[in-house]
Amino acid sequence: MTLIDGKAVSAQIKQEIAAEVEQIVAAGGKRPHLAAILVGHDGGSETYVANKVKACEACGFKSSLIRYEADITEDELLAKVEELNQDADVDGFIVQLPLPKHISEQKVIEAIDYRKDVDGFHPINVGRLVIGLPCYVSATPNGIIELLRRYNIKTSGKKCVVLGRSNIVGKPMATLMMQKANPGDATVTVCHSHSKDLKKECQEADIIIAAIGKPNFVTADMVKEGAVVIDVGTTRIPDATKKSGFRLNGDVKFDEVAPKCSFITPVPGGVGPMTIVSLMKNTLLAGKKAIYQ
Q: Hey, which bits of the chain come out as E strands?
A: 2-3, 33-39, 62-68, 92-95, 159-163, 187-191, 207-210, 228-231, 235-238, 246-249, 263-264
188: left (phi over 0), alpha (psi -120 to 50) or beta: beta
Stretch that binds a copy of itself, among 70-78, 89-97, 122-130, 231-239 (CB under 8 A): 122-130
Chain positions 159 to 218 lying near a copy of itself, rule: CB under 8 A, are: 159, 165, 167, 171, 174-175, 178-180, 185-192, 194-198, 201, 204
Name which of 5 and 119 has its Cβ closer to a copy of itself: 119
Q: Is 12 in the active site?
A: no
CA–CA separation, 128 and 104 (whole Å): 23
Residue of 43, 123, 134, 226 interacting with a copy of itself (CB under 8 A)? 123
96 counts as catalytic: yes
Does position 158 interact with a copy of itself (CB under 8 A)? The reply is: yes
Q: In the stretch 99-118, what mask flags binding to a copy of itself with x, by CB under 8 A?
A: -------x------------
Work out how close the CB of 262 gets to a copy of itself at its nearest, in angstroms, rounded to a whole number. Answer: 17
Shortest Å, Cβ 132 to a copy of itself: 7
Cβ proximity to a copy of itself, 5 vs 251, nearer residue: 251
Give the span between the Cα atoms of 293 and 281, in whole angstroms: 17
User: Integer distance in angstroms from the first to the last C-alpha of the chain?
Assistant: 44
What's the min distance (Å) between Cβ of 184 and a copy of itself?
A: 9
Parallel, antiparallel, or unpaired for β 246-249 and 235-238? antiparallel
Contacting residue, 18, 24, 66, 124, with a copy of itself by CB under 8 A: 124
The minimum distance between CB 113 and a copy of itself, in angstroms, equals: 14
CB of residue 2 vs a copy of itself: minimum separation in angstroms? Answer: 23
Smallest distance from the beta carbon of 194 to a copy of itself, in angstroms? 4
Is 52 part of the annotated catalytic residue set? yes
Whichever of 163 and 276 has its CB closer to a copy of itself, that residue is: 163
Using CB under 8 A as the binding rule, the residues of this chain from 234 to 263 that contact a copy of itself are: none
Q: In terms of C-beta distances under 8 Å and separation of at least 24 residues, what long-range contacts does 63-68 make, across chains too?
A: 63/33, 63/34, 63/35, 63/36, 64/33, 64/34, 64/35, 64/36, 64/90, 65/35, 65/36, 65/38, 66/35, 66/36, 66/37, 66/38, 67/37, 67/38, 67/39, 68/37, 68/38, 68/39, 68/40
Q: Provide CB contacts within 8 A for 15, sequence distance 6+.
A: none
* Interaction of residue 79 with a copy of itself, rule CB under 8 A: no
Query: Is 133 one of the binding residues for a copy of itself (CB under 8 A)?
Result: yes
The residues pairing with 7 across neighbouring beta strands, listed in sequence order, are none
**Between 45 and 104, CB nearer to a copy of itself:** 104
Active site residues: 52, 96, 119
Footprint of a copy of itself on this chain (CB under 8 A)? 106, 122-133, 156-159, 165, 167, 171, 174-175, 178-180, 185-192, 194-198, 201, 204
